[in-house]
Structures are given as C-alpha cells and as structure tokens.
A = this chain, B = another copy of it.
C-alpha cells in the first residue's frame, strides 16, 4: 500500500509518460504521508475506445484511484487530490474536466505486503524496528 490505479484512453500515455506519472505519484504520496518509496504501487490500464461513457456519451476521460491506508486527515487527503489533478493535467495535456481522482482509505490490518500485516498510520517506526530483519531479506531498507 498504497496502490494507485490509473485508467486512461488507449494510446494517451507513452511508455515514458507512464514512468513519469508513476514517479510523480510516488513523490506526491511520499511527501504527503512520509511513506517510503518502496511501498508505492502504481498500475496503469488502458480503456479501449467504446468502453467509457460520461453523461451517456462516449468519452475519453481518465481515472486515478488510490487505495491508501486510513488515518490521514482531511486536509492532507484534499491536498493530495489537488496535487494529483494538477500533475495529471500537466503531464497528459488533459483538462481538469477529463480526470477524476479518488482516494479509498482502508484499514491496514486487512493488508499483507512483503509477508507482513501493515501498521496503522503513525505506527511505522515501531513496525520497521520489529520487522527490520524480514524486510532486509526482501531488500526493503528504511
């Protein structure tokens, strides 16, 4: 966690645009939450022509959905929404009217990553201390 899923019209994003967006999503997420880079997952999925409708009409909108740990305050979440929207319009050339950004805060007790149950937001230092050996074996350092 987090997992960010980006849905965009087929052909909108080049390989390098995807790499750039993944990098910027990671920066925005880590700056806002203090999470280490290695926990940020970004997935892309293309929407073929004819598979997206907005207001009953065929559309070429994009969607950025973030599954994040719960516990970040409203101000942080809304600043993230603004930064993701600005980043998306800048990198892709789409307008603010063509990108929907959503965050789904989830209970980290329901997530296993690197073979470990994730910590509550705010309890990362103890978690990294307790799991240093397991994480180091998997190449995760903090």
A interface residues with partner B (beta carbon < 8 Å) = 1, 3, 7, 15, 18-19, 22-23, 26, 36-45, 47, 50-56, 58-59, 61, 63, 67, 74, 77-78, 81-82, 84-85, 95-97, 100-106, 109-115, 117, 138-140
Contact = CB atoms under 8 A, between A and B. Distances in A.
Copies in the complex: 3
Q: Which secondary structure dominates where chain A touches chain B?
A: mixed
Contacts of A45: 51
A44 B40 contact: no
A82 B112 contact: yes
A101 B26 CA distance: 20
Nearest to A26: B56
Contacts of A113: 100-101
